[in-house]
Chains A and B, each alone.
Chain A
Amino acid sequence: GQNIDQPTEMTATEGAIVQINCTYQTSGFNGLFWYQQHAGEAPTFLSYNVLDGLEEKGRFSSFLSRSKGYSYLLLKELQMKDSASYLCAGSYSGAGSYQLTFGKGTKLSVIP
């Protein structure tokens, strides 16, 4: 299968910057999604990277390096409401379509 690896937990201070890393297998890889999931809620879409480089969307940015099988999600000016799990998901070629493989998620705790 396609392994997606990301840290299990991270803690950061309100107002700071945090980077959540994700590594993935490159065989059959198409693109990389990041989702945010608050406890007891559904995952919500944050970003999708297909090309190498950094894409910025407000306080959140996502980076992709296809050759290294590496991505990161950068959260700036952390707020308490950013406490959530962040899911990295690779899109891989399947039988006639693309299939998402998720990492186990990184639980981010933002402390005052």
Chain B
Amino acid sequence: KAGVTQTPRYLIKTRGQQVTLSCSPISGHRSVSWYQQTPGQGLQFLFEYFSETQRNKGNFPGRFSGRQFSNSRSEMNVSTLELGDSALYLCASSLESSGRTDTQYFGPGTRLTVL
């Protein structure tokens, strides 16, 4: 079974621009979560989508948004980029069985550099 895929793998943008990142979950997985990883803060939760609905949201400004499509693929968007948005953005998918925690499997990430 193919793993989680993310595109693009690397991205360079300038301040003020916007960016869209894409994530395709493992086939059959219905939940997609997004994380930002930086050396100082570690992995921080952005949001989680299930059945095209945002179910949980982390403590990030409204410039960070996302969506999920009917095939469970997900995108996240960052508008008005700031230097501090430079990070590795990781997507993780899980099966999502009712009433229990399922293991999240991570994609390779998108390395975003804001200049």
Contacts and interface: CB of A to CB of B under 8 A. Distances in A.
Interface of A: 1, 30-31, 33, 35, 41-45, 48, 50, 87, 89, 91, 94-105
Contact of A42 (B41, B50, B56, B90): B90
B42 A100 contact: no
B106 A97 contact: no
A69 B55 CA distance: 26
A35 B31 CA distance: 19
Interface residues on B, range: 20 to 34
Interface string B82-115: 0000000010000010001101111111000000
Given A41-B108, A42-B90, A97-B55, 19 more contacts: A1-B59, A30-B101, A33-B103, A42-B106, A43-B90, A45-B104, A45-B105, A50-B101, A87-B42, A94-B48, A96-B55, A97-B31, A97-B56, A99-B56, A100-B45, A102-B35, A102-B42, A104-B41, A105-B43
Interface of A: prevailing SS: strand
A33 B106 CA distance: 13
Interface string B1-25: 0001000000000000000000000
